[in-house]
């Protein structure tokens, strides 16, 4: 692997900005579809998915902040909103004074199942469909390399 200079070249910065722009573009389109069809933000969807995949559908708030794939800084506010909507419940951990876990409710799981149809159709349309299968495979491999 070549040693990177302290300041990226013009071509390197171009690739970096293309990465950020692609991510911003796709997540905004997916968010708009999810809000329009399901009244759920993409961040809210992210929280519901992480809880659905966790053992017993529950995570400590700190674990949840690590698990989400979008903004970690807004997780507390997101959980507040999902709790008011009955999709998530917050509970103290017995015998742990500072522990709070977020649990996916049955209603949250129902909303997630419906929202997943909108979301996954959007992923197909705005991500998968734009690359050939070979390009998509290569893109996934390059993304894996970026998780050092």
Nearer Cβ to a copy of itself, position 65 or 105? 65
Closest CB 92 distance from a copy of itself, rounded Å: 28
Could you give phi then psi for residue 146, rounded to 5 degrees?
-80, -10
Nearer Cβ to a copy of itself, position 43 or 108? 43
- Smallest CA-to-CA distance from 118 within 24, 30, 3, 1 is with 30
Nearer Cβ to a copy of itself, position 7 or 98? 7
Could you give phi then psi for residue 72, rounded to 5 degrees?
-75, -25
How many other C-beta atoms are found inside a 10 Å radius of the C-beta of residue 31? 19
DSSP string, 65-98: HHH-SS-STTHHHHHHHHHHTTSEEEEEPTT-TT
Closest CB 97 distance from a copy of itself, rounded Å: 28
Closest CB 91 distance from a copy of itself, rounded Å: 26
- CA 43 to CA 65: how far, in whole Å? 11
Closest CB 116 distance from a copy of itself, rounded Å: 9
- Smallest CA-to-CA distance from 104 within 41, 56, 42 is with 56
Nearer Cβ to a copy of itself, position 17 or 107? 17
Task: Please state whether beta strands 88-92 and 100-104 pair in parallel, antiparallel, or not at all (unpaired).
Answer: antiparallel
Closest CB 133 distance from a copy of itself, rounded Å: 7
Q: Which residues bind a copy of itself (CB under 8 A)?
A: 1-8, 11-26, 28, 68-74, 117, 120-121, 123-133, 135-148
Nearer Cβ to a copy of itself, position 92 or 137? 137
């Amino acid at each position: 692997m070549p040693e990177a200079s302290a300041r990226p070249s013009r071509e390197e910065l171009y690739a970096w900005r293309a990465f950020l722009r692609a991510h911003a573009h796709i997540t905004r389109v997916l968010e708009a579809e999810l809000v329009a069809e399901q009244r759920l933000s993409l961040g809210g969807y992210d929280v519901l998915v992480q809880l659905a995949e966790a053992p017993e559908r529950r995570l400590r708030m700190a674990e949840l902040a690590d698990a989400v794939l979008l903004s970690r800084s807004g997780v507390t506010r997101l959980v507040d909103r999902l709790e008011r909507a009955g999709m998530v419940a917050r509970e103290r951990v017995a015998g742990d004074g500072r522990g709070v876990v977020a649990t996916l409710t049955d209603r949250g799981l129902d909303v997630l199942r419906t929202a997943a149809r909108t979301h996954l159709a959007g992923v197909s349309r705005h991500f998968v469909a734009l690359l050939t299968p070979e390009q998509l495979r290569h893109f996934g491999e390059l993304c894996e390399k970026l998780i050092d």
